[in-house]
Structure 1
């Protein structure tokens, strides 16, 4: 009696053919796993490839050819990975780059998702793998430890200044606390750490002059914004502060000796009373010598009869620069530039009251008491102003 011939569905035949093609297993191996004859499976495979030639690009390849194709694909992936790595490592591939710089790059890049192995990165950058592991495992050198500590202090002073200090003022803070370093080192560390102080905006002329009233008014300062003692020479100006409820206006009086804002006034108008209040506040907080100079621009409030009469009653002399020439009142303009650049332009005020509080906080809580002034050898205005008075009393 002849043996019953086994029958297989077309789905079963196709499944075995796909397994041979996709897994690259030998035909004999697959045939044994499923209990079919090897020659039978070869016949099915030949027919399957003929029917699916367009869908199987590897259909006419031998097993060795398919293996070689997979090897080429792997090498291609490695080359792409190497190219991407070397592109990011361009900074440490330049002439003069140190071995330590390459180690540092490998150490940082290894933390990224999908990063290549340490061994491959060391090969690509032509450094020793054992040298890398030795470098990563050793303690920080004295120089690296000091630099890390200095970076921490620089970041502290930068944040304490509300990110307004450049490297010179931060160097002055470090010197004041007894930390020795060069200004250039501070600048380098700030650049490496991305610590960039806020930048000023361009000047725009806003003065509305009363030419008739100011006719013949002298410029007693001539851009010499210094004095040999407090109470001898003052400058003043007005600016506006925006809020969602509208503008508020700030008038200031600044002593040319100490650069301290000795008088200020804030209101929601720009009438003569604004500048009068600022000058009266200055009289209440600091000593003003007879014949002291008060210098301003030629704005209508400063050229008004009421204001000039107040200056005369206080025994002061009026001085004015030219209209629209910011350098003639550069010291007052410089303060407003600092105020707006360091605080106002970086803040949104919902109410006038909020704007008023913040401006007062800047003047009294930061500028006068904690902001180092370059024209004072990076000292604080309050310290310079009151130290002169103390020396005068002691004498």
Structure 2
């Protein structure tokens, strides 16, 4: 069995005293931890209810300006690439959105980053979420169909060898389009797809170089969906084992199980768990506070909830759901849980320290050392 590769996700929220201070510190910790990849999400806004962005609810409010002050991902990665061109860490978007961003622009951005990083760029891509599209005037009626066409458009441009491209598409028709950026030493960025549903899983098998889902999965769901991807790859003559099985999951580590459970049992952490769909709650024997038809992060806009509403909803999130969405506990606990994901097929695990979300700053900062030990331990799995 090959070594588990490890990535670090950065929330890319504007910080204090300088906007990129937190991201630069995270990147340096990634380098020090000798991880394999460093990732940034591509959002305009966040997923934390605005009334909870207050020091009385979360220590993160003392460090980051706003839950919705998301910095532009490609610009940030370009800055990191320009300053540190010779590092070995791959830089990835986790993930970009095919709704609000035209695929020709995405193809150009990813190809540019690949040149700047000497072949270390990874294009994470998915259909996006309603909250990042509809409020800004982007049609959200056919996100998966739009995604499929966006992915085909990116491939068509990359493979055009500088020749004129004409391509019919209901979303992104190309008429005498030119794309002449070169690949780095003949290699384009790897495309990792954030797929969850059956149609997206099959598209990953047909076109993706990696599968990069996040919450909410169970290990048994992951292995079943990986088989769908590999079957789709085989159907079109691709090597199914060439697709990297990756996974993104938060980590909440501490010095003791009791200290971690105290941090998990807070309004802001439980409110974040509203991003899981009702199906995931049902797997834990619970009902989703926002209703049985809630699709979670894909469709709801929890940042518009008022303080009373979010308190009421968060109070009905059981601790079993919270723990199922993260790797939690002592360093040994977290590594033991990560090994389960490895045993269910994950080969590249991308994590983020969720400890700073708890209310007390001292305890939030106290999770940094256990988290750094987790990073080192994951590399030995």
TM over 0.5: no
Higher RCO (CA-CA < 8 Å; seq separation 6+): 2
**Structure 1 length as normaliser, TM-score?**
0.19
**Structure 2 length as normaliser, TM-score?**
0.19
Instruction: Name the one with the larger helix percent.
Output: 1
